[in-house]
Structure 1
Amino acid sequence: MTQPNQPSGYAAKPWLGLLSPAQRAPVSPPPSLLHAFREAVARAPGRTALAYFDGRVGYAETDALSDSVAGHLAAHGIGRGDRVAVMLQNTPHFVLAVLAAWKAGAVVVPLNPMYKAGEIGHILRDSGAAALVCDGRTWTAYGAEAARGTAVRIALTASDRDFQTRDDPRVFAPAEPEAAPEAASEAAPEQAPAEPADPPAPADPPTPADLTAVARRGHPAPPDPGLTAADTALISYTSGTSGTPKGAMNPHGALTHNAVRQVTGHPLPEGATYFALAPLFHITGMVCELGACFANAGTLVLAHRFEAGVVLEAFLAHRPAYTVGPATAFMALAAHPEATADHFSSFQVLSSGGAPLPPALVERLRAAYGFYLRNGYGLTECTAPCASVPVHLEAPVDPGSGTLSVGLPGADTLVRILDEQGAEVPFGETGEIAVRGPQVVPGYWGLPADTAKAFPDGELRTGDVGFMDADGWLYVVDRKKDMINASGFKVWPREVEDVLYTHPAVREAAVVGVPDPYRGESVKAYVSLRPGTSAEPQELSAYCAARIAAYKYPREVEILPVLPKTTSGKILRRELRDRG
């Protein structure tokens, strides 16, 4: 480990030598994405900002519609620092609601639209949200009840069928909720997070107004709130793959920094078309799709929620240049019987984030469809990416573990690997990944103890285990909490999963530890199979046993139709672990 007074190898940022000149050059992001949006309106008022099936909304129209919604919010007392919860799929309403909240000076609390009443109520109470924007069916079914007894005093509802004429039953049929997935302080972000106040709770939920009707009513916008880079833009509740979700306070400057870095790192022409594959309520979609699109005055293609056939059709209809999504989404697209190389031919950059990317999947996609899927790494707490694979390079695979690198940190970012005592370990050794940079949030909403633990001296301790090679390539091994102890040996699920993904029949894989009276813990794998293939559990277990050490291979394999996932595409190991 690095000794006191010894220079740090990580501080030298060895990855700088591999970045392009554009990636190394300093950036001067606007103070907020609202500023970036207004700059795009000024540059290209007639350009399509939002494409939603056969609907098109230009930049100037998007500006006017969101002005009217902002005026409505302000007229109902929503102002600087208030929280506005937005719980919508990838539709124009989501974008209008977010812009309107920022124009009113409010903080956006993005909610997963798959949440049910208890989950919604928890976040509404925790954030102290004064307004809720959601789908009309959601409000009627359980949103109103969830808002009862909270600080919500204004509600706006939306219909997914607005802003387009196509009515695709694959998209707009009511969705079954997934398992549990994944608010702003008056204090400046550099200060310790303040405890949220307890506002008086209305006796009954408010009567909702229709968002589209409000947007078209022509309300004047409120006075410019004067947002700064230090103001809180989002309170993003961390994806609940474990424990109770916590609200990370993402500053406006963190969003614009990463959004502008996305633009400088991807040589797309101004006005390029971005496809929203990741959900916009997730930090990846908010920054890498919505934020980058506005920073580049581009067109954002929306397709409600993920349905593989609908997404492939949209690829052909809109010919996007960029998208980002979890590995599971690309698995589903590749498994669709109508998928061809032409569906992906317009893309200049395809990125994966939010879930591990197996090397076998990258090569399978390249062989079948002709594109290279670029890995990336980030967390809600660092406002999406803190490492990615530059467009002029391909990610190496570690020869020892078979792990695909998640990329190189950015020029403004410092990534270190630390031992249990917080000291740096040498290049090549595993430890906890720590991140420092302008994209790291100041802390969690109303949780000073958790903030102090996760952000000592402003540095994010991610809870992820990984290592970095001497050139600066970062590798994520797994989550600290997911390590399996089999007979005293450490087993990282990712290593076993990556082997399973090389089997031609495996579509999805997740490995967990299960109690074992002899070993303490034993390795168990859950898999789903690719359409048109077959495999027996014993076959998959033997396949792994032939490729990894005896203590690592799964003694038990269970085949499921699909594996449980969050809406952002992360496989829920916790839920599988609970199955036993």
Structure 2
Amino acid sequence: MTSPSDSSWAHLVVASMERRRSDVAFRGHGVVRTHGESRDRAVRFAHALTARGVGPGSRVALVVEDRADAVEAYLGVGLTGATAVHVNDRLAGPEIAGILDRADASVVCATAGHLERVADLLRGSGTPLIALGLPSSEDLAASGSTMVPDALAEPDRPGIVGFTSGTTGTPKGVVHTHRNLARIVRHMPAHDGLRWGSRCGFTGTLAFVAGVWGVVLPHLYVGGEISFLAGLDPERWVDAMIRERTNFTYAPTPLMRAFAAEVRRRPAVLEQLDGVLHSGSLADRDTVADLVDAIGPRYVETYGMTETGAPVTATVPDDWRPGSGADDPYASAGRPVPIASVTVVGRDGASVPSGETGEIVVRSETLFEGYLGDPGATAEALPDGALRTGDLGALDDAGYLYVRGRLKDMIVTGGMNVYPAEVEQVLALGDGVAEVAVFGVSHPRWGETVTAAVVPRPGAVVDPSALETLVRSRLASYKKPTAIHVVESLPRTASLKVQKDELRKRFDAS
């Protein structure tokens, strides 16, 4: 008998979907599909790929929108034993071309909205392009055998490759094996507190690979439902959640306060709601406190990255009740989950005392295998089997993690270390401030000096001198920005991370 650890992640998921055949799996964009329908479509697609020579050792790149067809394609690729190469569909054409070139895929799949530009990128390459979600007469998932292919003989082959954001250079391909992805899918329901049959109001997007293996696949594994809600304003988001009796949703950082206000206006949304997840970017503590005030202990904050597969820390409901052991639960990312351990180290690699900032180092059962075609970067990231994250953070006496930003973004001014996240938290309290980024620029005397870019709220006017006074009243003088620039928007990557290198180039006079 084949155990789950001997199967691909896709075998694990489709077996669960078979048990919930008549229940809805997907809603959105005019499509409602049951688990049985989507399970069968995934299996048929797998057979169609196999007939085209796709199997273990093959790579299939996917450039997809938020559609049921896209998830079914991922499942189909997984069932063949091939490697699914995730391509963020928000990237520009040259960026997609670069990833496709590095992926060396034998087949590329694209949903309707991306067919034309992907076809242009592939012209002359000889690489086949498969269209997803076409009319049934041309749909590879519409007919054929629904017998699930045999489980994998080699589950330690690459299962999914997801590329990093590339904020400081070329994105790296993060490799997770079929076995590890199955481990992630089995772990996530406990991590996020998903009930059997959980209904997810998915405000995230398949553009980010963590949304695939961290939210969508675990919901299918528990027989749940995915409703595609990305792009909705908080009023329509809550409308859908009330109508669909949503149990779980994701709160994007820019919408947290507006979502909290909408919940207070229509508390009926809380009747079925079990959890609201936030992750992926730092939110200031007052925004977190505001959302927790509105939704109570349903809030879940996590810390992780593409390389960790699953998050490695998380808050729990008791963190939002009196008696939490955290120094400041609203500023923390929770404590390590059972499958992971977290330490904070100094430049010498030794652990630093609690409360002191250093680099976050992670060990976890779901760590990635390595970077695609880059053994040097793999060895640098995993020197002893633990992941050097490149993130700065601190642990308190109770083991709660506080993320301070990226190691590369730390500012050294006059020999003193300044952690941008600490200054950003204070500036976010200023009148009229919607977004803020703190970074260092060169200085002839101090080496670097603290600088900030601030985006005002709509209709508001930001006073830089008042913000400087605010920082001076709360932080040491050397942490105060010597320049605050008011800008219309912050430059971001396709995964919405702020590009501080771009801000340095714009505002560094040297």
So what's the TM-score if we normalise by structure 1?
Answer: 0.79
1:153 matches 2:128: yes
1:213 matches 2:139: yes
Change (3 A) 1:429 1:316: same
Pairwise CA distance, 1:426: 3.1
- In the other structure, the counterpart of 2:185 is 259
Pairwise CA distance, 1:327: 1.9
- In the other structure, the counterpart of 1:168 is none
1:436 matches 2:363: yes
Task: Supply the distance in 2 between the matched residues of 1:342 and 1:537 (Cα, whole angstroms).
Answer: 41
Change (3 A) 1:103 1:117: same
1:111 matches 2:87: yes
1:562 matches 2:489: yes
Pairwise CA distance, 1:383: 0.6
1:500 matches 2:417: no
- In the other structure, the counterpart of 1:416 is 343
Q: Deviations over 1:260-294 (max 9, x none)?
A: 33222444431010222222342431233113202
What SS does the aligned partner of 1:351 have? strand
1:276 matches 2:252: no
Pairwise CA distance, 1:461: 0.8
1:55 matches 2:31: yes
Q: Deviations over 1:499-537 (max 9, x none)?
A: 122235222221111233343322222222334543323
Task: Supply the distance in 1 between the matched residues of 2:268 and 2:443 (Cα, whole angstroms).
Answer: 49
Residue 163 of structure 2 contacts residue 172 of structure 2 at CA under 8 Å; is this kept in 1?
yes
Tell me which of the two structures has the higher relative contact order, counting C-alpha pairs closer than 8 angstroms and 6 or more residues apart. 1
1:125 matches 2:98: no
Pairwise CA distance, 1:436: 1.4
The amino acid that maps onto 1:92 is A
1:35 matches 2:40: no
Task: Supply the distance in 1 between the matched residues of 2:221 and 2:148 (Cα, whole angstroms).
Answer: 23
- In the other structure, the counterpart of 2:316 is 390
Residue 84 of structure 1 contacts residue 132 of structure 1 at CA under 8 Å; is this kept in 2?
yes
Residue 82 of structure 1 contacts residue 107 of structure 1 at CA under 8 Å; is this kept in 2?
yes
Task: Supply the distance in 2 between the matched residues of 1:412 and 1:425 (Cα, whole angstroms).
Answer: 22
Q: How do 1:57-72 residues align onto structure 2 when only pairs under 5 Å count?
A: 57-72=33-48
Task: Supply the distance in 1 between the matched residues of 2:72 and 2:389 (Cα, whole angstroms).
Answer: 32
- In the other structure, the counterpart of 2:240 is 314
Task: Supply the distance in 2 between the matched residues of 1:579 and 1:373 (Cα, whole angstroms).
Answer: 37
1:289 matches 2:289: no
1:405 matches 2:332: yes
Greater helix share, structure number: 2
Residue 510 of structure 1 contacts residue 573 of structure 1 at CA under 8 Å; is this kept in 2?
yes
1:353 matches 2:279: yes
- In the other structure, the counterpart of 2:289 is 363
Give every structure 1 segment of 4 or more consecutive aligned residues whose post-TM-superposition deviation is greater than 6 Å: 335-339
Please point out which of 154, 158, 165 is paired with 1:239: 165
- In the other structure, the counterpart of 1:96 is 72
Task: Supply the distance in 2 between the matched residues of 1:338 and 1:268 (Cα, whole angstroms).
Answer: 24
Pairwise CA distance, 1:363: 1.6
Residue 235 of structure 1 contacts residue 247 of structure 1 at CA under 8 Å; is this kept in 2?
yes
Residue 396 of structure 1 contacts residue 405 of structure 1 at CA under 8 Å; is this kept in 2?
no
Residue 6 of structure 2 contacts residue 151 of structure 2 at CA under 8 Å; is this kept in 1?
no
- In the other structure, the counterpart of 2:118 is 143
- In the other structure, the counterpart of 1:226 is 152
The amino acid that maps onto 1:487 is G
Residue 454 of structure 2 contacts residue 484 of structure 2 at CA under 8 Å; is this kept in 1?
yes
Residue 315 of structure 1 contacts residue 344 of structure 1 at CA under 8 Å; is this kept in 2?
no
Identity of aligned residues (%): 30
Q: Deviations over 1:29-71 (max 9, x none)?
A: 7844323322322321101111115531001100111122222
The amino acid that maps onto 1:353 is S
Q: Deviations over 1:421-473 (max 9, x none)?
A: 32223333322111112111121111011111111122111111112223221
Q: Deviations over 1:327-351 (max 9, x none)?
A: 2343564588997555565421111
Change (3 A) 1:526 1:445: same
Q: How do 1:437-516 residues align onto structure 2 when only pairs under 5 Å count?
A: 437-516=364-443
Structure 1 unpaired stretches of 5+: 1-27, 163-209
Q: Deviations over 1:358-378 (max 9, x none)?
A: 211112224456676322100
Pairwise CA distance, 1:139: 2.7
Residue 256 of structure 1 contacts residue 291 of structure 1 at CA under 8 Å; is this kept in 2?
no
1:535 matches 2:510: no
The amino acid that maps onto 2:89 is P
What SS does the aligned partner of 1:456 have? coil
- In the other structure, the counterpart of 1:571 is 498
The amino acid that maps onto 1:447 is D
Pairwise CA distance, 1:577: 2.6
Pairwise CA distance, 1:237: 0.6
Change (3 A) 1:80 1:277: same
Task: Supply the distance in 2 between the matched residues of 1:302 and 1:276 (Cα, whole angstroms).
Answer: 5
Residue 37 of structure 1 contacts residue 295 of structure 1 at CA under 8 Å; is this kept in 2?
yes
What SS does the aligned partner of 2:94 have? helix
Task: Supply the distance in 2 between the matched residues of 1:40 and 1:262 (Cα, whole angstroms).
Answer: 15
Task: Supply the distance in 1 between the matched residues of 2:174 and 2:497 (Cα, whole angstroms).
Answer: 18
What SS does the aligned partner of 2:303 have? strand
Residue 233 of structure 1 contacts residue 251 of structure 1 at CA under 8 Å; is this kept in 2?
yes
Change (3 A) 1:222 1:318: closer
Task: Supply the distance in 2 between the matched residues of 1:305 and 1:472 (Cα, whole angstroms).
Answer: 36
The amino acid that maps onto 2:95 is E
Residue 8 of structure 2 contacts residue 81 of structure 2 at CA under 8 Å; is this kept in 1?
no
